[in-house]
Amino acid sequence: MNLSDYKDVYVFAEQREGKLQNVALELLGKARELADANQEKVVAMLLGKDIKPLAQTLIAHGADRVMVVDHDLLKDYMTEPYTQAITQIIEENKPSIMLIGATTIGRDLGPRVSARNRTGLTADATKLEISDDEAHEFRMTRPAFGGNLMATILCKNNRPQMSTVRPGVMQKMAADASRTGEVVEVKINFNEQKINRVKLVKTVKEEKTVTDISEAKILVSGGRGVGSKEGFEKLGALAKQLGGEVSSSRAMVDAGVMEQSRQVGQTGKTVRPALYMACGISGAIQHLAGMEESELIIAINKDKYAPIFSVADLGIVGDLHKIVPMLTERLATMQR
């Protein structure tokens, strides 16, 4: 393998039902940065059925070229046809770097592609960079051991250097409608016999109602300061806006305001969400024991001496009954 034959940064532009996934745009943002560091191009691989109109969005977010593979076999994601398509693109174009979102689709596709092409694949990277020394090494950093350790991975002698990338970590570029790029349609020689070994019976979309608060990524949690069921409705609105769940301290469970299954703490559940928003929770030790490992803790409490502030990343001394509805409204406006 002559490494110098391989160039450009390829991004798998994941779409579902004709809708580009956010992670695809995030990856383009990062790919732009990596490609610029090596004076290379950003190439988006857009696979699906009737998806060509999405190409312009990809260009606006940083792609120099979009390779469109439009085929009935690619309508719903299936491991084999997608692997065949990507493999043919690799063989014909020799990418240096290939980024795939670490979604259930990307984490299925990535390893299959890497094994077919006998190259390395880094999983769930949270940081990607080109070293600023002469080597211009591509360094992929990822958490391991349950997030206790970070490891920087290299793929020195194989190409493409593949990585799946955790959604929500990279920054997408602001869309620039004036950007121009090339759109190339690619024909794939599918091996249908291999593809037919797996039959898709159906795809079902469901609104996931996470009632297990320990599984929720975002928790808006209420304590004595919330006061009542009505108070919790305000928290519920905020949780809905953030795509999270409502949880509670013991006090509100004992008062019969919240159900026991939503209780955080010593006698409830231990949670570790990406965001724990503690509203009107003073933070008794048995509550802290159940949530202090949350990644981001924001606390709102009237009492500036409340122990919850000692574990919070951001503490607000104030009235949750005013702040929470205002915040919900603000987030709603931002989304519109």
209-268 residues in contact with another protein (CB under 8 A) are 218, 242, 250, 266-267
Residue among 201, 209, 256, 336 that touches another protein (CB under 8 A): 201
Beta bridge partners of 12: 45
Shortest Cβ 177–another protein spacing (Å):
23
Question: Which listed range, 66-74, 90-98, 100-108, 179-187, lies at the site for another protein (CB under 8 A)?
Answer: 100-108
CA distance 79 to 39: 32
Question: Which listed range, 35-43, 54-62, 227-235, 325-333, lies at the site for another protein (CB under 8 A)?
Answer: 325-333
Phi and psi of 225, rounded to 5°? Answer: -65, -20
Report if residue 88 touches another protein, rule: CB under 8 A: no
**What is the SS3 assignment for 258?**
coil
Residue among 200, 209, 256, 336 that touches another protein (CB under 8 A): 200
Report if residue 129 touches another protein, rule: CB under 8 A: no
Shortest Cβ 184–another protein spacing (Å):
27
* Buried b or exposed e, range 291-315, using 16+ CB within 10 angstroms: bbebeebbbbbeeeebbbbebbeeb
Residue among 132, 134, 178, 208 that touches another protein (CB under 8 A): 208
Residue reference for tokens 């490891």: 151
Residue 148 CB coordination number (10 Å): 7
Q: CA-CA distances (angstroms) from residue 126 to 8, 29, 170?
A: 20, 14, 8
Phi and psi of 185, rounded to 5°? Answer: -90, 135
**Cβ nearer to another protein, comparing 184 with 317:** 317
- Pull the structure tokens for residue 97: 């770097």
CA distance 199 to 325: 48
* CB 268, CB 212: distance < 8 Å: no
- Pull the structure tokens for residue 277: 């928003």
Report if residue 133 touches another protein, rule: CB under 8 A: no
* Start-to-end C-alpha separation, the chain: 50
Report if residue 332 touches another protein, rule: CB under 8 A: no
**Cβ nearer to another protein, comparing 62 with 81:** 81
**What is the SS3 assignment for 69?**
strand
Report if residue 153 touches another protein, rule: CB under 8 A: yes
Report if residue 116 touches another protein, rule: CB under 8 A: yes
CA distance 311 to 79: 44
Q: Binding to another protein (CB under 8 A): which residues in 165-194?
A: 168-169, 194
Beta bridge partners of 233: none
Q: Binding to another protein (CB under 8 A): which residues in 299-318?
A: 299-300, 304, 309, 311-318
Report if residue 62 touches another protein, rule: CB under 8 A: no
* CB 207, CB 263: distance < 8 Å: no
Report if residue 147 touches another protein, rule: CB under 8 A: yes
**Cβ nearer to another protein, comparing 56 with 79:** 79
Shortest Cβ 278–another protein spacing (Å):
12
Residue among 3, 144, 184, 332 that touches another protein (CB under 8 A): 144
Shortest Cβ 232–another protein spacing (Å):
19
Residue 140 CB coordination number (10 Å): 26
Shortest Cβ 180–another protein spacing (Å):
29
CA 205 from centre of chain = 18
Residue among 27, 44, 279, 297 that touches another protein (CB under 8 A): 297
Residue among 148, 178, 180, 209 that touches another protein (CB under 8 A): 148
Residue among 111, 190, 227, 240 that touches another protein (CB under 8 A): 111
